[in-house]
């Protein structure tokens, strides 16, 4: 069964939920009826069981080790996705203060976060790339953040537009920097000490849908009012080691395996970044060397290593591209309706082989239709 | 692998996450690398993919069919567990009104719901079983609910105490009845038309942790303010068919399989109720026929068919019971620290054979130690 199933798998360029390492899926499959050392499935196990607590701690410690997260930060595993973080962040850090929160808007997800934050307090969109159809990120000096801002929020990689910050935006040291890293979490090393809070829903680069990793500096945990809905208060989750209520145990278990795969099979985030740069360069080269047949959506200096967005000369060719790619085992390439064209999501778990196949298909398709 | 893994499985009396049907686990295992008809794992599939939308609709339709849910109700699949429902219910139906919400408190989970509701508006605990250590539920006439109450909230089965309402509490027709059915969801037929809202986190009787089914009468969807955090507004989820944001796809997929197992393998909720009555009676008989060796926590008229709670003469015997049971493949029987003793959770998926083994062990243990 397993060998057959593996051979049936296509190269899956879905933007999320997205490709997972085959070795992780195989481990999950092997352990599904009975977790080794236990006598039940992980899915049937109380979150208070010793075996699950070990899995939870392993997942946390793998992230701490991969990302160099000190004990100054809590690592939480929450439900509700990025959408709930859009509200939890201002509910904890802005609601009830007279401060203003600064937001950088470089795409769809930043825009959604702003929509939720407006309900909670005063915000200031310090940079807005909407007028250029979200094709870039700001440079230092393109915006100002007040020293007394509640926080500065940005989305490190806009999944839909395929624009990615190459490094953290400028931010006064007095202002907590907050990142939605959902679609480029664990794709490269970063200095977590620059952040007040960094979060990522798992279903792009770290696991299945249903769990969101939140890394929060502990001094920010006390900002939420006791009158917040309990689930929305970060402090509750931090004080209870992500077990304030029943956590999404299975999703955490898979996330932990992905983190271990990154450590043991890939060799950590430096190695992962090198692979991601090489993989994405294969596609950007195919775009740049197509004599204008393919048009990149993102400007060159902020092209994403995770989501490669480009368009074709017309809708007819776009349809033919998607159809032809699928016939070559390259699936889920259609871009988001708001941007159109093609989006090739090449997260950590996308094998280099899949990207090479796509790059070759792109060159072939351009030469036949250009 | 599979045959070995099945033989390694114990009878798992965990209160939740809890036992799942073996046939469901085997299906999940078989499909883990590649969903039939698709070319990726379910976990890797976009929630917007046709194949997942079908799974989502199948899960919803299975619940509608099993429970006789008409289109007057929305069926939602949400994250955040019962804990988030404790807040979402009053945030949508009480906050900003001058009404009072009525709560019946018959155990730990009702108490937690009350704690969250107090943050959102005026509440009235119309019945409180705390003074008798939560060993019963009220009879009709034991409490009054005002005709203009925002709603009447109760927990149909208190998992920790093992007390269960045998039918819905009395409630004026003008008042929406709300039930936390987390631990007895799908254990028996009920008339959903009596309810304004009924919800259940999946990890007791319906699937893995990480998804909560919410069945809400559509006229209640408009009560939430647009200023609520978006994730907390039921209307957003209902209008978007549980895809306002990325839903917990894998947990929904397993829940759908459990619902289909109930329909096809068990034969629906009437059949399930009969089995549950028989299974629980095996244990209650072992208690009642033990000449007082075992002491039931719940009063006879509200004993749960899902969580059977009882104590032993002393802590030494309790420890010996748990140890001896584990040696007989009967695991996770320790009661919650707030009640002590034994809690045997015998949800839908617990095979009759497991309950028979436990009943026999109880009789044997009592005769040797009584």
Among A265, A281, A304, the domain-final residue is: A265
pLDDT in tens, B99-130: 999 999 999 999 999 999 999 999 999 999 99
Give chain A's mean pLDDT.
97
Above 60 in pLDDT, residue B2? no
Q: Render pLDDT for A134-178 as a digit per residue (tens, 0 to 9).
A: 999 999 899 999 999 999 999 999 999 999 999 999 999 999 999
**pLDDT-based confidence at A370, cuts 50/70/90?**
confident
Q: Using a pLDDT cut of 90, give the percent of chain A over it.
A: 96
Q: Are B304 and B253 part of one and the same domain? A: no
pLDDT at B34: 95
Contact by Cβ (8 Å): A203, A209: yes
Which of B17, B6, B4, B22 shows the shortest CA–CA distance to B350?
Answer: B22
Closest CB to B81: pick one of A14, A79, A329. A79
CATH number, domain of A307, equals: 3.90.1150.10
Residues 6+ away with beta carbon under 8 Å from A349: A18, A19, A20, A21, A24, A205, A258
Contact yes or no for B44 and A83 at CB 8 A: no
A51, A166: one domain: yes
What is residue B153's three-state secondary structure? strand
Segment B145-161, tens digit of pLDDT: 999 999 999 999 999 99
pLDDT category at B76 given cuts 50, 70, 90 is very high
Cβ atoms of residues B334 and B342 within 8 Å: yes
Tell whether B160 and B309 lie within a shared domain. no
Q: What is the pLDDT of residue A4?
A: 66
A319, A252: one domain: no
Task: Give the DSSP H/E element, type plus range, for residue A215.
Answer: strand A212-217
Residues B85 and B50 in one domain: yes
Domain that holds residue A306: 268-369
Residues 305-344, chain A, touching B (beta carbon < 8 A): 329, 331-332
Please say which residue of B226, B241, B265 terminates a domain: B265
Residues A261 and A272 in one domain: no
Closest CA to B329 of A176, A34, A137: A34
Contact A210 B91 (CB under 8 A): no
- Mean pLDDT, residues A37-65 taken together: 97
Residues in chain A closer than 8 A to B14 (CB atoms): 40, 44-46, 49
| DSSP track, B81-119 | HHHHHHHHHHHHHTTTSS-EEEEEE-SHHHHHHHHHHTT
Q: Per residue in A166-178, pLDDT tens?
A: 999 999 999 999 9
Structure confidence by residue, pLDDT tens digits, B51-73: 999 999 999 999 999 999 999 99
DSSP category for residue B231: G
The whole-number pLDDT of residue B3 equals 62
Q: Kindly state whether residues B100 and B248 are assigned to the same domain.
A: yes
By the 8 A CB rule, do A197 and A219 touch? no
Contact B33 A6 (CB under 8 A): yes
Average pLDDT score over residue span A280-284: 98
DSSP states of B167-225 as a string? Answer: SPPP--TTS-EEEE-TTTTTSS---GGG-SEEEEETTTTTSSTT-EEEEEEGGGGGGS-
What share of residues in chain A are helix, strand, coil (percent, to 5)? 40, 15, 40
Which CATH number belongs to the domain containing residue B105 in this structure?
3.40.640.10
Express each pLDDT in B308-340 by its tens digit.
999 999 999 999 999 999 999 999 999 998 899
Domains: count for chain A: 2
Q: Is A245 on the interface with B (CB under 8 A)?
A: yes
CA dihedral (A159, A160, A163, A164) in degrees, to 10, reads: -10
Q: Do the beta carbons of residue A120 and residue A113 sit within 8 Å?
A: no
Same domain, A230 and A113: yes
Q: Residue A292: left if φ>0, alpha if ψ -120 to 50, beta else—which one?
A: left
Please give the residue of chain A at the shortest CA–CA distance from B205.
Answer: A44
Nearest chain A residue to B117, by CA = A229
**Angle at which helices B50-67 and B249-261 pack, to 10 degrees?**
40
**Residue-level pLDDT at A1:** 45
Residue A19 lies in a domain: no
8 Å CB contact between A210 and B210: yes
Domain-located, residue A10: no
Active-site residue identified among B184, B204, B235, B257:
B204
Q: Is residue A208 part of a domain?
A: yes
B227 located within any domain: yes
**Are residues A191 and A273 part of one domain?**
no
Residue B231 has its nearest CB partner, among A12, A43, A80, at A80
Looking at the structure, tell me whether residues B164 and B210 fall in a common domain.
yes
Longest dimension (CA), chain B: 64
**Inter-chain Cβ pairs, chain A and chain B, closer than 8 A:** 226
Count how many Cα atoms sit within 13 Å of the Cα of residue B179 in the half-sphere of its side chain.
26
Q: Which of A18, A47, A88 sits opposite B209 (nearest CB)?
A: A47
**Dihedral class, residue B50 (left if φ above 0, else alpha if ψ from -120 to 50, else beta):** alpha
Residue A97 lies in a domain: yes
DSSP code of residue A197: E
Q: SS in 3 state form for B52-67? A: HHHHHHHHHHHHHHHH
Among residues A98, A111, A118, A180, which one is catalytic?
A180
Q: Which of A211, A231, A265 is the last residue of a domain?
A: A265
Average pLDDT over chain B, rounded to an integer: 97
Model pTM score: 0.98
First to last CA, chain A: 42
Q: Which residue in the block uniquely carries the two structure tokens 């402090």?
A: A235
Residue A170 lies inside a defined structural domain of this protein: yes
Angle at B192 between CA B186 and CA B194, to 5 degrees: 135
A227 and A275 belong to one structural domain:
no
Min Cα distance B52 → chain A (Å) is 11
Q: From A201, A238, A46, select the one nearest B13 (Cα to Cα).
A: A46
**E strands in A61-136:** 73-78, 100-105, 122-128
Question: Does any domain span residue B9?
Answer: no
Alpha carbons B60 and B52: distance in angstroms, whole number: 12
Residues in Cβ contact with A119 at an 8 Å cutoff, skipping those fewer than 6 apart? A87, A90, B227, B228, B229
CA–CA dist A278, A193 (Å, integer):
27
- Residue B7 has a pLDDT of 83
Calculate mean pLDDT across residues A181-198: 98
A204 in catalytic set: yes
Q: Look at A208 and B43 and tell me if their CB atoms are within 8 Å.
A: yes
What is the average per-residue pLDDT within A2-13?
Answer: 83
Task: Please tell me the total number of residues recorded for chain B in this structure.
Answer: 370
What angle (nearest 5°) sits at the alpha carbon of residue A188, between those of residues A58 and A217?
A: 60
Measured between CA atoms, how close is B58 to chain A, in angstroms?
A: 19
209-228 of A, contacting B, C-beta below 8 A = 209-211, 227-228
Contact B246 A119 (CB under 8 A): no
For residues B310, B315, B319, B325, the Cα torsion angle rounded to the nearest 10 degrees is -30
**Is A261 part of the annotated catalytic residue set?**
no
Write down the pLDDT at residue B1.
45
- Classify the complex by whether its ipTM is higher than 0.95, answering yes or no: yes
Of B83, B258, B246, the C-alpha closest to A41 is B258
Is B237 inside any structural domain? yes
Answer whether residue A3 shows pLDDT above 90.
no
* Euclidean distance between CA atoms A182 and A16, whole angstroms: 10
Quick check: helix, strand or coil at residue B367? Answer: helix
- State whether the Cα torsion A245-A250-A253-A259 is positive or negative: negative
Q: Which of A14, A348, A206, A328 is nearest to B51 (CA)?
A: A14
Is A315 designated active site?
no
| Chain B residues touching residue A232 (CB < 8 angstroms) | 87, 229
Annotated binding site of A: 48, 109, 159, 180, 203, 245-246
Do B154 and B73 share a domain, yes or no?
yes
- The 10s digit of each residue's pLDDT in A78-112 is 999 999 999 999 999 999 999 999 999 999 999 99
């Amino acid at each position: 069964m397993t060998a057959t199933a593996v051979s049936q798998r296509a190269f899956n360029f879905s933007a999320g939920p997205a490709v997972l390492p085959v070795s992780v899926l195989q481990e999950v499959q092997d352990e599904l009826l009975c977790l080794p050392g236990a006598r039940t499935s992980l899915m049937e196990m109380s979150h208070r069981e010793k075996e699950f607590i070990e899995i939870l701690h392993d997942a946390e410690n793998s992230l701490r080790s991969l990302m160099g997260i000190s004990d100054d930060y809590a690592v939480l595993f929450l439900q509700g996705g990025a959408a709930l973080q859009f509200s939890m962040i201002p509910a904890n850090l802005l609601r009830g203060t007279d401060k203003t929160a600064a937001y950088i808007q470089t795409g769809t997800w930043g825009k959604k976060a702003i929509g939720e934050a407006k309900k909670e307090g005063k915000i200031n969109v310090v940079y807005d790339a909407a007028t250029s159809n979200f094709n870039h990120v700001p440079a230092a000096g393109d915006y100002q953040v007040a020293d007394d801002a509640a926080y500065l929020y940005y989305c490190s990689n806009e999944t839909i537009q395929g624009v990615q910050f190459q490094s953290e935006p400028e931010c006064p040291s007095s202002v907590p920097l907050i990142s939605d890293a959902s679609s480029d979490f664990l794709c490269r090393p970063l200095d977590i000490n620059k952040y007040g809070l960094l979060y990522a829903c798992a279903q792009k680069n770290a696991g299945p849908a249903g769990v969101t990793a939140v890394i929060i500096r502990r001094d920010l945990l006390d900002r939420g009012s006791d009158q917040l809905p309990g689930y929305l208060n970060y402090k509750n989750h931090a004080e209870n080691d992500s077990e304030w209520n029943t956590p999404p145990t299975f999703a955490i278990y898979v996330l932990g395996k992905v983190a271990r795969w990154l450590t043991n099979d890939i060799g950590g985030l430096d190695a992962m970044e090198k692979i991601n740069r090489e993989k994405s360069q294969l596609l950007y080269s195919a775009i740049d060397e197509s004599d204008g047949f393919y048009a990149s959506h993102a400007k060159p200096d902020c092209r994403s290593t995770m989501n490669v967005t480009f368009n074709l000369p017309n809708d007819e060719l776009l349809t033919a591209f998607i159809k032809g790619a699928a016939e070559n085992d390259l699936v889920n390439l259609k871009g988001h309706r708001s941007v159109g064209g093609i989006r090739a999501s090449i997260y950590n778990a996308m094998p280099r082989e899949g990207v090479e196949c796509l790059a070759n298909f792109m060159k072939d398709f351009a030469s036949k239709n250009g």
